[in-house]
Amino acid sequence: MSTVDRVRPLVEPIVAAAGLSLYDLDLQAGVLRVVVDQPGGVGMDAITDVTRSVSRALDDADPIAGHFTLEVSSPGLERTLRTPAHFASALGDTVSVKTVPGVDGERRFQGTLESVDDDGIAVAVADADQPRRVAFADIERARTVFEWGPGPKPGGSRNPRTKRSRAATSTSSSAGGGTSRPQKKVTAP
């Protein structure tokens, strides 16, 4: 039985009791990563509570030989995809994939995750006639890609206050230091 398999039954009930779901559990290079999630995101209070509870449970059961660091976090906007369930939850999302060396085609590519099955994934890549099929065993690393909304229009700021704010400040240099920082103009009444 692997260390993660020994730790999972200790961690899962704690995470569930906090109203969260266990997104991922991983132990690498002496760091036990517990990644928790819930619809709408995970707050810092929940992360803190789970960290304390998991730490106590691990201290009591001592399932990990030697020293380790406990890291409890949420998956974030760009989620790591490691398991078939992770990939299934990202169907229709933009993903970035890096394959192991020796796999045909580009090692790094990005596109829309179109399908997931027991063996691997299919990603629709721009300028390709067919989706790129990759077996799970051939994926070195994958994650979702957060896509920002449209950028500001050329030639101006979206926020009119920004222009006023810049106009109301000036730059001065400190004598001797040569550093500059914005200073507000002060007008006498």
Distance CA 134, CA 105 (A): 10
Q: What was the pLDDT predicted at 130? A: 92
Choose which CATH entry (3.40.50.720, 1.10.287.3510, 2.70.180.20, 3.30.300.70) describes domain 3-73: 3.30.300.70
Distance CA 68, CA 176 (A): 49
Q: What was the pLDDT predicted at 1? A: 79
Q: What was the pLDDT predicted at 169? A: 38
Q: What was the pLDDT predicted at 146? A: 87
List every span in the chain annotated with CATH 3.30.300.70: 3-73
Q: How far is CA 111 from CA 92, 124, 186, in A?
A: 10, 5, 52
Residues 6+ apart with CB under 8 A from 158: 152
Q: What was the pLDDT predicted at 157? A: 56
From first to last of its 189 residues, what are the pLDDT tens digits of the chain? 788 899 999 999 999 999 999 999 999 999 999 999 998 889 999 999 999 999 999 999 988 888 999 999 998 888 899 999 999 989 999 999 999 999 999 999 999 999 999 999 999 998 889 999 999 999 999 999 988 777 777 765 555 454 443 433 333 333 344 443 344 444 444
Tokens of 21: 């779901």
Q: What was the pLDDT predicted at 156? A: 58
| One-character DSSP codes across 107-125 | SEEEEEEEEE-SSEEEEEE
Q: Nearest-CA neighbor of 96 among 143, 49, 160, 162?
A: 143
| One-character DSSP codes across 34-73 | EEEE-TT---HHHHHHHHHHHHHHHHHH--S-S--EEEEE
- Coil, helix or strand at residue 28: strand
List every span in the chain annotated with CATH 2.30.30.180: 84-144
pTM of the predicted protein model: 0.65
Q: What was the pLDDT predicted at 147? A: 80
Distance CA 36, CA 21 (A): 6
Q: What was the pLDDT predicted at 119? A: 94
| CATH code for the domain defined by 84-144 | 2.30.30.180
Q: What was the pLDDT predicted at 76? A: 84
